[in-house]
Amino acid sequence: MFTLFDRPARLRSRYSRRSLLTVGGVSLLGWSLPQLLRRLNATEPTPRQRPGFGSAKSVLLVYLQGSPSHIDLWDPKPQAPADIRGEFKPIRTRTPGLHVGEVLPQLAQQSDHYTIVRSIGVDPQGLRNHGAAIYMLMTGHNPANFTPTGLAVAPSREDLPSLGANIARYHAAERGAFSNVAIGAPVMEGRIVGVGQSAGLHGAAYDPYTLYDDATQPLTPSGFTLPADMTLERITARLDLREVVGARYQQIEESNTTFDGFYDQALSLLQNRRALSAFRLQDESVKTRERYGMTRFGQSLLLARRLIEADTRFVQVTWPGRSDEEPVPGPDGSWDTHRNNFPMLRDHRCPVLDQSLSALLEDLAQRGLLESTLVVAIGEFGRSPRIGTQTTNNVGPGGRDHWPECYSFLIAGGGISGGRSYGRSDHHGAWPADDPLHPYDLLATLYHAIGIDPATEYFDNLNRPRRLVESGNPVTGLF
């Protein structure tokens, strides 16, 4: 595979030959391996003892489908050659020494609320494409579990569960609230819808509640409307009767158990209208709606804030443009800028992102919700440092190709310290230089923050133990 820059060893493996030799030589100190492990375990803090565990009540994942250029938004390189630094200049934020691209002036004024992580990356196995990267980001597992080629395939019950599904299973919301909601738009690559979104092996009861309607229009959540001749009292009576009848039968099919889960959730939501009323964006003032922006993405973020306010545990807002779609003018196009990167970002993508995401952070902070809500804005990878140079995909004039080896994301709230950057990329934005993170580390951090041990195991359909995250550790330095 053609590459522009040397690969640092840290992306190939987490363990060096020196560290392995060090472990292998512990017998020279008079310790056996079991003695060493006991000694290490005696001093190793439990997940609950580490900084940030359980600091968040909710997680809001803002998925920038198609992946924006990290160099042009979050990690400007003004000293790099022109064919790397690009057309945009860095601007100051409210945080001394922290700069972002000139296309994010409103977010620059909210920098005290967030941290920019500039050293996440992975040396991809197989294709450097959207499907494999999305699956890795959404499930915390090697894309070989998804497909050997890395190309997107239709979701199935054989899939490993998504982040939202695991949160719904291991830290469900209180009765009468949603545990896992996906809004904005579906995750799409080619004709495949829902990559890395389902509960997979966990079963349909943990799938997200989805509403992908255009939030600039009145929303009607499906599945929660009673027939004209039905009341909540009659439904509750039927549920009580069914429980009495069901108690006489000990063998209940799994499908019925799943149905019971749906039935109970729907009933609890009907009984507590607060969660369903979150979809009534028309109850917001015109000023608030316009602050978020009257775009599909902006109103979806406003809906996300309302869902968080109604005690939803996990919300994913997906950018409307398909991951591998040809970028087009307008507010809803993809971030996949293989060509015309700079006019697309300057005139179409970044004005929407800047207005809406800054409004979300400001609104959450003013309402006292940011302290308990962990917000992450991220794409599935970054874009190539050198402009117009093809790595593995078709790149046109002024475009940037896929670049999973190093990119950036914004993280805020939920116990995360704001007003800083974490990690550093090299002088071209091509590789992590300090504090490298893997996407698995990010997912481990999200589980940790919401109070779930990322080492939690479940069994797949072959009765093999699986961890929530294949490997990686919570990044406690972010808290």
Q: What is the pLDDT of residue 19?
A: 38
Contacts of 135 (CB under 8 A, 6+ apart): 141, 143, 145, 146, 195, 196
Q: Higher-confidence residue: 400 or 258?
A: 400
Looking at 415-473, which runs of residues are DSSP E strands?
Answer: 420-422, 424-425, 432-434, 457-459, 465-467
pLDDT at 423 over 90: yes
Tokens 């300090």 correspond to: 434
Residue-wise pLDDT tens digits, 305-336: 999 999 999 999 999 999 999 889 999 999 99
Helix boundaries (H) for 247-402:
254-271, 274-277, 286-292, 296-309, 341-344, 350-366
Strands 180-183 and 114-120: unpaired
For residues 130-156, average pLDDT: 86
> Which pLDDT band holds residue 36 (cuts at 50, 70, 90)?
low
Residue 241: the pLDDT is 44
Query: Looking at the predicted structure, is the pLDDT value of residue 476 above 90?
Result: yes
Tokens 């987490």, residue located: 14
Domains of the chain, with CATH numbers?
A: 16-45 (no CATH), 56-219+283-478 (3.40.720.10), 222-278 (no CATH)
Q: What is the reported pLDDT for 35?
A: 59
Please tell me the predicted confidence (pLDDT) of residue 22: 41
Quick one: which of 358, 356, 376, 377 has its CA closest to 366? 358
Stretch 89-93: mean pLDDT: 98
What is residue 257's predicted lDDT score, i.e. its pLDDT?
47
Could you give the CA distance from residue 283 to residue 271 in angstroms, rounded to a whole number? 20
CA 194/CA 200 separation, integer angstroms: 11
pLDDT of residue 318: 98
Q: Which pLDDT score is estimated for 420?
A: 97
Q: Quick one: pLDDT band at residue 226, thresholds 50, 70, 90?
A: low
CA dist 399 and 378 (Å) reads: 20
d(CA 293, CA 406): 30
Which of the residue ranges 132-136, 311-315, 352-356 would you say has the lowest mean pLDDT?
A: 132-136
CB burial of residue 258 (10 Å; 0-12, 13-18, 19+): middle
Give the total residue count for the chain. 479
DSSP class of residue 157 equals T
**Res. 401: pLDDT tops 90:** yes
Quick one: pLDDT at residue 255? 42
* Residue 34, pLDDT score: 58
Average pLDDT, the chain: 86
Element counts in the chain: helices (H) and strands (E): 15, 18
Per-residue pLDDT band for 41 (boundaries 50, 70, 90) equals low
Given a cut of 60, is residue 235 above it in pLDDT?
A: no
In this model, does residue 80 exceed pLDDT 90? yes
Contact status, residue 399 vs residue 334, Cβ threshold 8 Å: no
